[in-house]
Amino acid sequence: MISIKDLQVSYRLGTRTIHAVDGVTLDIPDGCIVGIAGESGCGKSTLMKAIYGDITSPMHLSRGSITYGLKSAKGRQVTAQNIREEWFKSISYVPQSSMNSLNPVIRIREQFIDFPGTDSNKKRVLERARAYMGKLGLPPEAMDSYPHQLSGGMRQRMMIGLATFFQPELIIADEPTTALDVVVQKDILMLLMELQEEMKNTILVVSHDMGVHYQVTHKMLIMYAGRVVEYGDTDSVFSDPQHPYTKMLIDSLPTIGDDSMRGLMASAAGASGDRAYRVEPILHEVKPGHFVAQVAAAPVAQSVGA
């Protein structure tokens, strides 16, 4: 279990300090997929970096603590201080840009062994990795190719493969499907879910796509302005969101045949109260060169296009 207490992560920019993550307290249970959502700049990625232990200037932990319920291969307790030694051993990472996260000029098999992994016998690692390709839905020869010889989907499978190959207990996936088309996205997510089912590791998935979260995650974490605004089981969060921001995020999911967005806009616009609206408003010029869709009930001088 990962336990985060009152975590504040800041960026020092000259004399200014920005708290990108500001007082987050959180318990992540073992063996579940946690989805993290929130607008750009809400602190999702900073929180992920802090958990992964990738803290480089100007980013720093200014308050609070992260406790990993993890043990290294040598039986040592993993802490925020020695987490870097556990990279791609008990904690791993799936990057956002699968398209160019592999070195273009060296073969993929080399990229399985060019870091201090769990096994120092490189030959054995390669043999096992080759056998592992089948599980990723890739031919064993994919190991011997250069990145440009694989499609985007295959490359992202490879990234998932690299992240899961050493059977880490925690995987952080920062928008793992952003650059892929919808069909490939689904395959990748299914692969991730399958592997998680088997290995029972904890996965943190950052995504802007509420549909992805709904399909994949067990728990949902909604962030806003550096804080956690809602955290709970995915079913519960989606069916009964409590925070207004969560409600808006979920409402932003389009549904076929759903007119609620139209209703939402109408009611939001109606809340201003000074103009009447109906289902089919017409564009009117309110100031010279400035048009608004509006119903003719209000005192409107001239209409456009008429």
- Sites of contact with other proteins (CB under 8 A): 52, 54, 57, 84-85, 87-88, 93, 95-97, 100-106, 110-111, 114-116, 146, 148, 162
In the complex, least distance from residue 154 CB atom to other proteins, rounded to whole angstroms: 16
Helix axes 152-165, 182-199, angle to 10 degrees: 10
Kindly tell me which of 144 and 285 has the beta carbon lying closer to other proteins: 144
Evaluate whether 78 touches 90 at the Cβ level (below 8 Å).
Answer: yes
Kindly tell me which of 106 and 276 has the beta carbon lying closer to other proteins: 106
E-only strand ranges, the chain: 2-13, 16-28, 33-37, 59-68, 91-94, 170-174, 202-206, 219-224, 227-233, 282-287, 290-294
In the complex, least distance from residue 159 CB atom to other proteins, rounded to whole angstroms: 8
In the complex, least distance from residue 253 CB atom to other proteins, rounded to whole angstroms: 29
In the complex, least distance from residue 167 CB atom to other proteins, rounded to whole angstroms: 15
Evaluate whether 202 touches 103 at the Cβ level (below 8 Å).
Answer: no
Kindly tell me which of 53 and 241 has the beta carbon lying closer to other proteins: 53
The backbone torsions φ and ψ at residue 26, rounded to the nearest 5 degrees and listed phi first, read -160, 140
In the complex, least distance from residue 88 CB atom to other proteins, rounded to whole angstroms: 5
In the complex, least distance from residue 287 CB atom to other proteins, rounded to whole angstroms: 46
DSSP letter for each residue of 170-197: EEEEESTTTTS-HHHHHHHHHHHHHHHH
- Residue 288: cis peptide before it, omega within 30 degrees of 0: no
Kindly tell me which of 163 and 249 has the beta carbon lying closer to other proteins: 163
Evaluate whether 29 touches 4 at the Cβ level (below 8 Å).
Answer: no
Kindly tell me which of 110 and 259 has the beta carbon lying closer to other proteins: 110
Kindly tell me which of 73 and 298 has the beta carbon lying closer to other proteins: 73
Measure the CA–CA gap between 175 and 95, rounded to whole angstroms: 7
In the complex, least distance from residue 115 CB atom to other proteins, rounded to whole angstroms: 4
Q: Which residues, in sequence order, are bridge partners of residue 223? A: 228
Kindly tell me which of 155 and 219 has the beta carbon lying closer to other proteins: 155
Provide the token pair at 221.
């974490």
